[in-house]
């Protein structure tokens, strides 16, 4: 049976080191050469012939992160790796999952095509923006669920005053899943957008008076919607408002927005690196979850035990 070798792209090395440590194997050595014009050239400094290679890299901007991962796939293939499995904790471009207006790209499908063309055998990711993106691939997709991280964390803090919330209609299924597990009520924040990252209007569907609200979403970008939802929930009588977010994209004025908002706490994971520290942000690691997934995938075992 082939042995496992784990490698990391430069953007996700902080997380890859934790995954490798949890797996019990040192992170493999891969060098990234850069030409003076910015062209990338990664190469493995150890033999991977006949090995099951796991490449870890989240595909967040800049596009160099995606290009580096693609070149690593090609290098592994040309070095006679037995299999190449991508571990992409945050799958970028997932918000482009359909044509919501004429003459636009479906970025998530394009990225799936590119990974397959480069030679990936399987992809492991977490909390896709839209679950149907799994169908964009013609290779196996292991879609990990961050509820395995968040549910144990929340277990002791759920009270009779707790109520869950979705920041929009589209994310209501996610909040409902948690509400069903903990047997609590939920509300929905109905928002209308003029354009991306800009909310035109918002209203709460449900009663939050005197309740401790927990908002669930897959990612937070500029945090404008999240902070507006927190402010509105407080105005409606909520005692406290916390947010559970899988992917901390946190671009633009996100940190400033969170610091100045009535949001009490933002609980997130390390699928993406934080650009700065914040007293309101708590980070839980997905390293153990991905390490267990890597072991089960290599041993051809079911990963269903990793789900709640």
Average pLDDT of each block of 10 consecutive residues along the chain (308 residues)? 91 97 96 95 96 97 96 98 98 94 95 98 96 96 96 93 88 90 91 58 85 95 90 93 97 95 96 95 98 97 90
Question: Catalytic one among 5, 34, 101, 191?
Answer: 191
Q: Name the residue ranges covered by the structural domains of the chain.
A: 4-146+287-306, 148-284
Catalytic annotation on 180? no
Residue-level pLDDT at 223: 93
Selection from 226, 219, 227, 223 nearest residue 245 by Cα: 219
Locate 259 and state its tokens.
């610091």
Contact 85, 19 (CB under 8 A): no
Residue position matching structure tokens 């072991």: 295
**What distance, in Å, lies between the first and last C-alpha atoms of the chain?**
30
For domain 148-284, the CATH class is alpha beta
Cα 126 vs. chain centroid, distance in angstroms? 5
Domains 4-146+287-306 and 148-284 share a fold: yes
What's this model's pTM, rounded to 2 decimal places? 0.93
The fold adopted by the segment(s) 4-146+287-306 is Rossmann fold (3.40.50)
Residue-level pLDDT at 204: 85
Contact 70, 57 (CB under 8 A): no
Residue-level pLDDT at 282: 97
């Amino acid at each position: 049976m082939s042995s496992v070798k784990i490698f990391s792209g430069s953007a996700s090395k902080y997380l890859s080191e934790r995954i490798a440590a949890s797996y019990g194997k040192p992170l493999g050595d891969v060098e990234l050469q850069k030409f003076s014009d910015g062209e990338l050239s990664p190469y493995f400094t150890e033999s991977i012939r006949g090995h099951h290679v796991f490449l870890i890299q989240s595909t967040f901007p800049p596009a160099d992160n995606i290009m580096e991962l693609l070149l690593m796939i090609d290098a592994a293939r040309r070095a006679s790796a037995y299999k190449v499995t991508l571990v992409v904790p945050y799958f970028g471009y997932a918000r482009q999952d359909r044509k919501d207006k004429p003459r636009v790209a479906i970025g998530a499908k394009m990225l799936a095509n590119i990974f397959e063309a480069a030679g990936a055998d399987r992809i492991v990711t977490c909390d896709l923006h839209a679950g149907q993106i799994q169908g964009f691939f013609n290779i196996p997709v292991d879609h990990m669920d961050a509820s395995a991280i968040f549910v144990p964390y929340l277990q002791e803090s759920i009270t009779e005053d707790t109520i869950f919330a979705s920041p929009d209609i589209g994310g209501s299924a996610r909040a409902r899943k948690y509400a069903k597990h903990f047997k609590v009520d939920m509300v929905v924040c109905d928002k209308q957008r003029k354009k991306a990252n800009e909310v035109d209007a918002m209203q709460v569907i449900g009663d939050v008076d005197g309740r401790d609200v927990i908002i669930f979403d897959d990612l937070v970008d500029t945090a404008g919607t999240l902070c507006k939802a927190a402010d509105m929930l407080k105005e409606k009588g909520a005692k406290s408002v916390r947010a559970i977010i899988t992917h901390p994209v946190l671009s633009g004025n996100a940190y400033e927005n969170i610091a100045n908002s009535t949001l009490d706490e933002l609980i997130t994971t390390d699928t993406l690196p934080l650009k700065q520290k914040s007293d309101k942000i708590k980070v839980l690691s997905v390293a153990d979850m991905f390490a267990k997934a890597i072991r089960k995938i290599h041993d051809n075992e079911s990963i269903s035990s990793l789900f709640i």
